[in-house]
Amino acid sequence: MPDSSPQTSTPPVKKDEQAFEPVEIPLRDPWLAAFLALLLPGLGHYYQGRLKKAVLYFVTIMTIFCTGVYLAGSSEVGWGRCVYVSFRMGDQRLHFLCQMWVGLPVLPAVLQYLHDSSGHQPLWGSSFMAPPLISAEPRDPQDLAPPFTVHTLNKRLHRYFDLGTVYTMMAGLLNLLVIFDAFAGPVIFESGSTSEEEARRGGDEAAAA
């Protein structure tokens, strides 16, 4: 006797024309790439042959960093005054823990810190990335000459000191992501949408019923 139960038709599920094949990206030595990315934004990707990303990261991060250095400075107080190393009482510059990930561009701040710790005047005869004074010097009680105190820097640069700090911190944190990308490579997603997988699973269940 023929089966009179209604037949369930399963619509054909279209498959991808080409099967998913993982794309291999030559990361070379990931540890060396991460170290180079730490030295300079995009340098690790240049080492890996990922030239477009290298240019993109270098231009973007260095533009942000240099903008911050420009904003937090002037010919009067010196340039790049928001980027400096200081762990003294009364001036715990924790912002540098974010800025330092830019790499070599903050090296002058480290050299100025080491030079200042020895009791010497700022390097290169300028206050570029030099740590400010904790208090005004006895010979300059009104704080009229560089390297100035933090209070004077904020007073003369107004909001641009804080704005430059934010820009340079942002550049450092962005390069931290770039370092990770140079080490681990990009995230690769498998082709095929979730809706296609659900349709295929629903068709299999209907056929089994």
Share of the chain above pLDDT 90, in %: 43
Higher pLDDT pick, 199 / 143: 143
Q: What is the CA radius of gyration of the chain?
A: 28
Q: Give the total residue count for the chain.
A: 209
Higher pLDDT pick, 201 / 75: 75
Residue 34 lies in a domain: yes
Helix (H) or strand (E) holding 87: strand 87-88
Residues 153-204 pLDDT 10s: 888 888 999 999 999 999 999 999 999 999 998 766 655 555 555 656 665 6
Predicted pLDDT of residue 7: 45
Alpha carbons 173 and 60: distance in angstroms, whole number: 13
Alpha carbons 110 and 3: distance in angstroms, whole number: 86
Residue 104 lies in a domain: yes
Query: Which of 66-80, 106-120, 141-155 has the least mean pLDDT?
Result: 141-155
Residue 201 lies in a domain: no
User: Is residue 8 over pLDDT 60?
Assistant: no
Query: Which of 37-41, 51-55, 84-88, 179-183 has the least mean pLDDT?
Result: 84-88
Higher pLDDT pick, 40 / 202: 40
Alpha carbons 152 and 149: distance in angstroms, whole number: 5
The whole-number average pLDDT for the span 27-42 is 94
Alpha carbons 147 and 19: distance in angstroms, whole number: 64
Alpha carbons 63 and 69: distance in angstroms, whole number: 10
Residue 15 lies in a domain: no
Residue 3 lies in a domain: no
Residue 206 lies in a domain: no
User: Is residue 208 over pLDDT 50?
Assistant: yes
Number of structural domains found in the chain: 1
Predicted pLDDT of residue 2: 54
Torsion of CA 120, 121, 126, 128, to 10 degrees: 50
Rounded to 5°, angle at Cα 103 from 71 and 183:
130
The whole-number average pLDDT for the span 32-60 is 96
Residue 4 lies in a domain: no
CB of 109 closer than 8 Å to CB of 93: no
Alpha carbons 15 and 48: distance in angstroms, whole number: 34
Domain that holds residue 166: 30-133+146-185
User: Is residue 17 over pLDDT 50?
Assistant: no
Residue 209 lies in a domain: no
Higher pLDDT pick, 51 / 21: 51
- Helices marked H in the chain: 30-39, 43-47, 51-71, 96-99, 107-117, 150-157, 160-184, 194-208
